[in-house]
Amino acid sequence: MTVNAHRVVGIAAPFVLALAALVVPAQAAAGSQQGGRNCQAIDSYAPNKDEEHTVAIADGRAYAGAWDKKAKNIVWQELSDNKGYPARACDITLSEQGEKVWIKAITTGGQVHETSCTSPGKKLICDKRWTRLR
């Protein structure tokens, strides 16, 4: 296995466990579905060898995270509780420039919504409202 393959395998298991820990309690709560059912998506960007940011959707709930090199896992925060989060969000992506991170989600109806985060150092701060792009 190459070094890259080891890293993929090494982060896949913690990601699945972390995402399951976030999703299972949400699914257990009545009426907690905020997005598209059966939608799962993930996207990552590594601006350099010391940073990696990831976004994910699982059953319509959105998360953003920063890779913690020491802990060897992703530190997640929920985005679906930010104001304006789109109903039936089903896919997600991110882009970065400097300390600015833009996250876009598309709904099952084809609407695109965006929020943004800041990335000072190795942290990821995502507390902005979602806005529909037209």
Query: Could you state, in order of their start, the residue ranges of all structural domains in the chain?
Result: 41-132
pLDDT in tens, the chain (134 residues): 444 444 444 444 444 434 444 443 344 333 344 566 789 999 999 988 888 999 999 988 999 999 988 888 999 999 999 999 999 999 999 999 999 999 999 999 999 999 999 999 888 999 999 999 99
What SS3 class is residue 66?
strand
